Amino acid sequence: MRSRFEYLVVAIGLVARLSYPAAAAEPLSFGVLAAPPYGIERSDKTVSGSNHDIAELIGAKVGLTFNYRLEPLARLISDIKVGKLDLMIMIPGEELKPFALAPIVPNNSVVLTKAGNSIAQYADLKGKTFAVLRGAVYDQRFASDDDIKKYEVDSYAIGLRMTKGGRVDGMIGPDFGLYYQIMLEGMKRDEFGTPLILNTRMLTLLGSKSITPELSARLKAAVEELLSSGAIAAAAAKYVN
């Protein structure tokens, strides 16, 4: 007859065989900002875009698969803070810096105005109204300045149309995203003034509390390898017009 110890060993082995493969195969949730070129919904409802493509490179490097969630910025921020979302790529404000895993690429935060109304310096922003993507903080000084009026919008497209139509004085956002949206809208860059660059910040891989220290280290190493090889730059370059 088998001893109690032998039965215990067999039971533990069965549990491990039953539970481990399911856990190992479980895709992580990856949030993708619903704003081109970062996140784009294809005609078949699947997700593409620069953040998706970079995530695919990272997943392949560390042997992970992702379930992609194309969501507005405010929802992504809320979900990663409370652990409803595992990973995402964005420019983190102060509240999200504790979730930062690895820097990816720099983005300029700019203010775009209608052609002929260019703003030369920060002081010229005061007393004017600018469209800003709902939930986004592109520049802390700008966000905290009560002398600058902010008009929240749900997409770059809405803010750019309002700027071109004179309904707001301009729009703040990342140059990469704004210029791509200008192209999608069939607009031209010369319909907008010279951008005022407020800062240069890093698009960053963020991870929620669900990401273990070991996995965090693997993800960071994967990003560093992909940056060194030029793979991330090539993925982003596909969306530069």
User: Domains, the chain, ranges and CATH?
Assistant: 4-105+202-237 (3.40.190.10), 107-200 (3.40.190.10)
The neighbour count for residue 92, using CB atoms within 10 Å, is 22
Residue 63 predicted with pLDDT over 90? yes
Largest CA distance in the chain: 91
Mean pLDDT (the chain) is 89
**Interval 175-202 mean pLDDT:** 94
pLDDT of residue 15: 42
pTM over 0.75: yes
pLDDT band at 2 (very low <50, low <70, confident <90, very high): low
On whether the CB atoms of residues 66 and 59 are closer than 8 A, the answer is: yes
pLDDT tens per residue across span 16-38: 433 333 344 489 999 999 999 99
**Interval 33-60 mean pLDDT:** 95
On whether the CB atoms of residues 152 and 134 are closer than 8 A, the answer is: yes
Q: CB burial class (10 A; 0-12, 13-18, 19+) of residue 12?
A: exposed
